[in-house]
């Protein structure tokens, strides 16, 4: 009986040790999982500024493209044609017809301009034309306002001519002053000589 009791106690001890090892293993796995989550979270945070910058850059590029080609929004771009250039397949949002070409053809199609190698849109109304014309004018104004202002600088020839003119004016004024000073000395000498001659005649 005591032997049986001893075996039971040993079995209980083995079970406890086994449970303890399992708990320790699970705790290690949880800790490892928490570390992975922590690392992934901070990695995501560190990537966010770059993502925001790229999104901002893409938005600015889209805005520039819209201002330089604002009528693209009246068609649906389907497929780009070739590796280079601006040609692509597009569908008109008014007549639902599919065409191929650049923004130049889009503009000719929507504004019913002849000679562009593309049919005019039959579904565009006068009100649509007025709206698109307004969109074009506003985009052109934004593009002009975004350009740097040029300040005209004086040309080299004009600057040289002005310098030469100023030099000769200064030189002439200097000569005139010299003349006036010289004539004053001569007049003074002449007056002294005349006075001496008159005094000798009186004597």
Mean pLDDT by 10 residues, the chain (203 residues): 68 84 88 85 67 49 67 91 74 95 93 89 95 94 83 55 55 54 54 58 54
pLDDT value of position 158: 53
pLDDT value of position 20: 87
pLDDT value of position 58: 44
pLDDT value of position 109: 95
pLDDT value of position 30: 87
Q: How far is residue 30 CA from its own chain's centroid?
A: 50
pLDDT value of position 64: 45
Delimit the domains of the chain by residue range.
65-146
Could you say which DSSP state residue 117 is in? S
pLDDT value of position 161: 56
Residue 121 and residue 110 in contact, taking contact as beta carbons nearer than 8 Å: yes
Give the C-alpha separation, 53 to 60, whole Å: 11
pLDDT value of position 193: 60
Give the C-alpha separation, 64 to 73, whole Å: 13
Give the C-alpha separation, 52 to 58, whole Å: 10
Q: How many CB atoms lie within 10 A of CB 131?
A: 13
3-state secondary structure of 11: helix
Q: What are phi and psi of 158, to 5 degrees?
A: -65, -40
User: What would you report as the CA-atom Rg of the chain, rounded to the nearest whole angstrom?
Assistant: 48
Q: Is 69 left (phi over 0), alpha (psi -120 to 50) or beta?
A: beta
């Amino acid at each position: 009986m005591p032997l049986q009791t001893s075996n039971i106690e040993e079995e209980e001890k083995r079970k406890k040790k086994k449970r303890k090892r399992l708990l320790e293993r699970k705790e290690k796995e949880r800790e490892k999982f928490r570390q992975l989550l922590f690392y992934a979270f901070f990695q995501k945070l560190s990537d966010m500024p770059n993502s925001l910058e790229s999104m901002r850059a893409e938005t600015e590029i889209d805005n520039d493209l819209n201002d330089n080609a604002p009528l693209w929004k009246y068609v649906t771009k389907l497929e780009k044609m070739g590796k280079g250039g601006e040609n692509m397949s597009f569908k008109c949002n008014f007549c639902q017809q599919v065409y191929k070409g650049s923004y130049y053809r889009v503009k000719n199609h929507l504004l019913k301009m002849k000679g562009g190698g593309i049919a005019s849109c039959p579904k565009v109304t006068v009100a649509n034309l007025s709206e698109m014309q307004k969109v074009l004018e506003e985009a052109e104004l934004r593009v002009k306002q975004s350009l740097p202002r040029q300040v005209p600088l004086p040309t080299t020839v004009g600057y040289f001519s002005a310098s030469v003119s100023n030099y000769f004016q200064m030189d002439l004024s200097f000569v005139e002053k010299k003349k006036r000073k010289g004539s004053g000395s001569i007049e003074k000498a002449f007056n002294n000589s005349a006075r001496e001659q008159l005094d000798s005649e009186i004597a």
